[in-house]
Chains A and B, each alone.
Chain A
């Protein structure tokens, strides 16, 4: 198991090729704007953002594994730490922390210390139901699904809605055992 300390994520981020965050932020903004125009309903936009995140997540997980060189996590706790300390840092250059564990260790909160997606954003009255960063929840859900973890991810705090932080609740629904392709009953 590679060390998942905060500096480990920093070291990876320092070594990957980087681009100006404004290009990223404005491109994401253009996507949200397109969805608002195409789909009209804020609820539909939330769904589509989550779906797009999922599509990214199922691809991005391999990049994460290839470039971070981490091996299989022993449990969900370690997985959550890995997402927060290495994942967010490696891709977005920001730190996140894991909090609010439940008793059986299957549900926690990931709190973002910074969030490049929202740099210029203010939700007008007409978009109050929008989860602007919903792509992030989809990314985590998709990525974890590829390593056999079914999760449910919801925003519990959103600064664009007046909260004091961005916090995602990650709930492990079930850990799918690795499939042996030849079952006896087939």
Chain B
């Protein structure tokens, strides 16, 4: 069962979005995408405080907006994987984050990739969308 609404972004350590994807099954709407990203950015402050209170990477749901929930995963280097969603599937979300995390590590290890810069690889995008279909 796929989430109808889901927006996924990766935010660098310096609070700059380096990857975005609308991954829900609902019809894509430009204004909705903007709203989703706005909500996710607003949640960054909460993440900032919460990240120092636990050594876990998966912070679960940390914020909500109407019936939408913000789940967050913070990597060792404080890159944040953030998902806005309407599903209630913590296990799926955790698996999604973990696998995207591994893709992110592989991207980061590439010496030619500058840490904190936009992830432009279309292969990365394809793989993230496939993971979203599998887990969300």
> Per the CB under 8 Å rule, do A and B touch in the complex?
yes
Interface residues of A (CB under 8 A from B): 26, 28-30, 32-33, 36, 119-125, 127
- Determine the distance from Cα of A29 to Cα of B110 in the docked complex, in whole angstroms: 8
Query: Is chain A's interface secondary structure helix, strand, loop, or mixed overall?
Result: helix
- Determine the distance from Cα of A30 to Cα of B110 in the docked complex, in whole angstroms: 10
- Determine the distance from Cα of A28 to Cα of B120 in the docked complex, in whole angstroms: 23
Q: How far is the CB of B125 from chain A (nearest CB, A)?
A: 14
Asked whether A30 lies within 8 Å of B111 as measured between CB atoms, the reply is yes
Total interface residues on B, CB under 8 Å, equals: 9
| Bitwise interface map of B from 95 to 136 toward A, beta carbon under 8 Å scored 1, else 0 | 000000000001001111110000011000000000000000
With contacts defined as CB atoms under 8 Å apart, how many contacts are there between chain A and chain B in the complex?
Answer: 31
In-complex Cβ contact of A32 among B111, B114, B120, B121 (8 A): B111
- Determine the distance from Cα of A120 to Cα of B24 in the docked complex, in whole angstroms: 31
Chain A residues near B112 (CB-CB < 8 A): 29, 32-33, 36, 121-124, 127
- Determine the distance from Cα of A125 to Cα of B121 in the docked complex, in whole angstroms: 9
- Determine the distance from Cα of A89 to Cα of B106 in the docked complex, in whole angstroms: 27
Chain A CB within 10 Å, residue with most, of B109, B111, B113: B111
Q: How far is the CB of B133 from chain A (nearest CB, A)?
A: 23
Residue of B nearest to A117 (CB): B111
- Determine the distance from Cα of A182 to Cα of B114 in the docked complex, in whole angstroms: 56
Chain B residues near A32 (CB-CB < 8 A): 111-112
Asked whether B106 lies within 8 Å of A120 as measured between CB atoms, the reply is yes
Asked whether B111 lies within 8 Å of A124 as measured between CB atoms, the reply is no
A-B contact pairs, 10 of them (CB 8 A): A26-B111, A29-B112, A30-B111, A32-B111, A32-B112, A119-B109, A121-B110, A122-B110, A124-B120, A124-B121
- Determine the distance from Cα of A29 to Cα of B114 in the docked complex, in whole angstroms: 11
Q: How far is the CB of A83 from chain B (nearest CB, A)?
A: 26
Residue of B nearest to A132 (CB): B112
Chain A residues near B110 (CB-CB < 8 A): 29, 120-122
